[in-house]
Amino acid sequence: MPRDAPARGFPSREFASRTAKAQALMAKQGWAGLLLMSEPDVRYFSGFQTLFWQSPTRPWFLFLPLSGKPIAIIPEIGASLMRQTWLEDIRTWSAPAPHDDGISLLSQLLGPLAKDKARIGVMKGHETHLRMPLGDWERLIGALPDLQIADATGLVQGLRMVKSSAEIDKLRHICAIGSATFASVPEIVAEGMPLDEVFRTFRREALANGADDAPYLVGAAGQGGYTDVISPPSQRPLQRGDVMMLDTGCTWDGYFCDFDRNWAIGQADDRAKRVYDTLWRATEAGLAAAKPGNTTRNLFDAMSAVIAEIDTSGGDIGRLGHGLGMQLTEQPSHAAFDTTVLQENMVLTLEPSLSYGNGLMMVHEEDIVVGKTGAELLTERAAPELPVI
Amino acid sequence: MPRDAPARGFPSREFASRTAKAQALMAKQGWAGLLLMSEPDVRYFSGFQTLFWQSPTRPWFLFLPLSGKPIAIIPEIGASLMRQTWLEDIRTWSAPAPHDDGISLLSQLLGPLAKDKARIGVMKGHETHLRMPLGDWERLIGALPDLQIADATGLVQGLRMVKSSAEIDKLRHICAIGSATFASVPEIVAEGMPLDEVFRTFRREALANGADDAPYLVGAAGQGGYTDVISPPSQRPLQRGDVMMLDTGCTWDGYFCDFDRNWAIGQADDRAKRVYDTLWRATEAGLAAAKPGNTTRNLFDAMSAVIAEIDTSGGDIGRLGHGLGMQLTEQPSHAAFDTTVLQENMVLTLEPSLSYGNGLMMVHEEDIVVGKTGAELLTERAAPELPVI
């Protein structure tokens, strides 16, 4: 079990710093505020952390004014927890209230801004969702026709992409827990074990190693390889000649690891070994390219060049890795369409994948932090040859 | 460990029946189709089940035409899994593609309907979110100005509220797993154990008892009672005189239990005992009222009448229970604003709560299925007196 867990939570100055950075960017854009409503966005600026978001019933809102602390507009059931954060202005209603789930409170807050024909930022772009009823959104905006809405996706995701040292400590810790759990797989998994039992055993081991939870676990196993990388487990027992892949997002204090490992059961055939080796070297190429100044497209190109030894399709998975932090996947994407410039303290996954044979595929994944001069692995590097259990 | 797990998945006729019911209701409304995009809604009509939804990157769409099978418009990474469902028409694109994440494919599908000035249903109401970028939604609708959009919330939630016997079997199974896990708490938890360790131990026990996962676990412990019911765990060790509450949503084959239990550590004070007894009797009143023909407001009133012995605030939690199924919380709500008529095979939680003393609160929760003549418990009924560990 990894030792020396970092402190939970963040000091208030961390939230003050995030807020000040957002406000400086808002001022540059000429925006009067930022209206946020997704779990990670609300948590990023407030520190409000609860699994209660799993209930779709209640919307939660955070408003960042141009100066001062964020304002929470939330269901009363969350007031006690929100009062433990650095926020001071917490406005609540008794939710659920289908006919007015925070809309009056939002209208009161935004009304003066609308009167001034001000502009506010809202998350409208790639990788975002509207975490409130669309009908309520239409009602709110309809009642404030003079309020201008700008897309805040780039601003917020741009901030969240570059991690603080406290965030990196949490990510390093959960990656170490994930690595310890993968390292124990040869001891806890064996030929004959049904795949759903492998999943259950893996989750219990991750918890024993100190994970708060292992909410994301997908994987597959099949003779000579697998055909799918997002499935829940079958009940099929592992067989000699299978290639098994497990891909997990474990969490610690609200931060994710996201990486996978492959194993052969009993024996590995030459094709699987060759594909594994190619992906391992593709990751090496990604590691070499992951330095400040390069772009995510450079990362994509570096890994693609190695993958092309076997597979020139370009990959229907659409990208070869992504940002990592409070969500299993975050911006940016290592893809031909993404030209984000890598900066120190970005935390990323490198996730080369390829298709081979008749519909088989293999994926590799590591988690890294971009350092001053190059990549630092947060995960214990996968073995250079396909391990056999 | 509960035995006799039901079969995983559903036969195709279950999805055909759900689809036919929706189509009959759509025809009555004069709608030409239904566009769905949330995990449970897509899964309900297709059987498509994956944890990959935890990544916010890619949108997923399902279109129910007025007749025939649903049409999937999804990222290529999900095609292999979607082909295992009963669907036939699966249209994919290589996602992520920020400049066109399924919007062209949706436009092609909906274009002919827009030309006919047809009306389609979209989830816009209470307890729904728009699980695609708001900007993409605006772009799609802007390009199809003649397409009429109706709110499908009542139609879809109305169907999902009443469970099939196969769904009830799954819910009964996960509730039994939850009950077995709560039953073991006195053996695995003791004075001095930090609350976060209690959580970790509970999750491992739920997995050992057969849960696929325990994604939702909240709770609290404090001297004479607790002040918050949605927090992550503190690291404070349990102390003699604490009242501890754990509230869990465990999952099996995509279905949730959602209930809680309370314990006193070492000793229980009279006030906590009295509050516990009141909530236990409030649940009894709920059980007696949970029969076909009564409304959810009747359930709320029945439980509120007992709660009022101690607390007449009406409850800032906003409701005293809710629907249960593929999500931790579903429609309807046991609240003064909700007059849903109870029907046979609705699965519900009864969740009376009250505030007492100086900011303390207590919650109780059971899961039931509404039978022909009354409630059947899916959970093993909580002890009538506050158990002492």
Is the pLDDT at A315 greater than 60? The verdict is: no
Above 90 in pLDDT, residue B55? yes
Q: What angle do CA B142, A157, A140 make, to 5 degrees?
A: 45
Distance CA A331, CA A170 (A): 18
Note whether residue A297 is domain-resident. Answer: yes
Neighbouring CB atoms inside 10 A of A73's CB total 23
Q: Is B134 close to A126, i.e. CB distance below 8 A? A: no
Q: Is residue A207 part of a domain?
A: yes
Contact, B278 vs B309, CB < 8 A? Answer: yes
What is the separation, in whole angstroms, between the first and last Cα of chain B? 22
Whether residue B97 sits in one domain with residue B206: no
Q: Are residues A199 and A290 in the same domain?
A: yes
Q: Which of B160, B175, B208 is a domain's end point?
A: B160
CB pairs under 8 A between A and B: 213
Cα–Cα nearest to A214, from B316, B251, B35, B310? B251
Task: Answer with the one of B126, B160, B194 that is the final residue of a domain.
Answer: B160
**In this complex, do B95 and A318 lie within 8 Å of one another by their Cβ atoms?**
yes
Can you give the pTM of this predicted structure? 0.97
Q: Are B352 and B331 part of one and the same domain?
A: yes
Is there a single domain that holds both residue B95 and residue B203?
no
Residue B283 belongs to some domain of the structure: yes
d(CA A96, CA B193): 35
Q: What is the pLDDT of residue A358?
A: 85
Q: Are residues A176 and A98 in the same domain?
A: no
Q: Using CB atoms, which residue from A51, A76, A132 is nearest to B218?
A: A51
Mean pLDDT (whole number) for B32-56: 97
Could A129 and B56 be called an inter-chain contact, meaning their C-beta atoms sit closer than 8 Å?
Answer: yes
pLDDT tens for B109-163 read 999 999 999 999 999 999 999 999 999 999 999 999 999 999 999 999 999 999 9
**Count of structural domains, chain B:** 2
Token pair recorded at residue A239: 């067989």
* Average pLDDT for A305-319: 81
Q: Give me chain A's average pLDDT, please.
A: 96
CB A328 to CB B54 under 8 A?
A: yes
Over residues A92-96, the mean pLDDT reads: 95
Boundary-marking domain end, from B140, B160, B180: B160
In a domain, B6, yes or no: no
B195 is a domain residue: yes
In a domain, B92, yes or no: yes
pLDDT of residue B311 exceeding 90, the answer is: no
Q: What is the mean pLDDT of residues B59-67?
A: 98
Phi, psi of B332 (to 5 degrees): -90, -175
Domain of A203: which CATH number? 3.90.230.10
Nearest 5°: the CA angle B81, B133, B113 is 75
Q: With contacts defined as CB-CB under 8 Å, which chain B residues touch A230? A: 50-52, 77-78, 81
- Looking up residue A63, the CATH number of its domain turns out to be 3.40.350.10
Q: Are residues A125 and A231 in the same domain?
A: no
CA B151 vs CA A83, B87, B156: distances in Å: 36, 25, 10
Distance from B140 to chain A by nearest Cα, in Å? 13
Residue of B nearest to A250 (CA): B215
Domain range holding B86?
12-160
Please say whether the beta carbons of A58 and A97 come within 8 A. no
On whether residue A302 sits in a domain, the answer given is yes
One domain, residues A216 and A260:
yes
**Digit-coded pLDDT (tens) for B206-222:** 999 999 999 999 999 99
CB contact under 8 A, B151 and A128: no
Q: What is the mean predicted confidence (pLDDT) over B244-256?
A: 98
Query: Residues A187, A82: one domain?
Result: no
Looking at the structure, tell me whether residues B156 and B166 fall in a common domain: no
Domain shared by A182 and A277, yes or no = yes
Same domain, A104 and A175: no
What count of Cα atoms within 13 Å lies in the side-chain half-sphere of residue B205?
21
Q: Nearest-CA neighbor of B218 among A44, A91, A46, A54?
A: A54
> Do B174 and B316 reside in the same domain of the chain?
yes
CA distance B329 to B259: 11
Kindly indicate whether the ipTM for this predicted assembly is greater than 0.90, answering yes or no.
Answer: yes
**How far apart, in whole angstroms, are the C-alpha atoms of residue A5 and residue B262?**
30
Residue B80 CB contacts under 8 Å (≥ 6 apart), including other chains: A227, A228, A359
* Residue A41 placed within a domain: yes
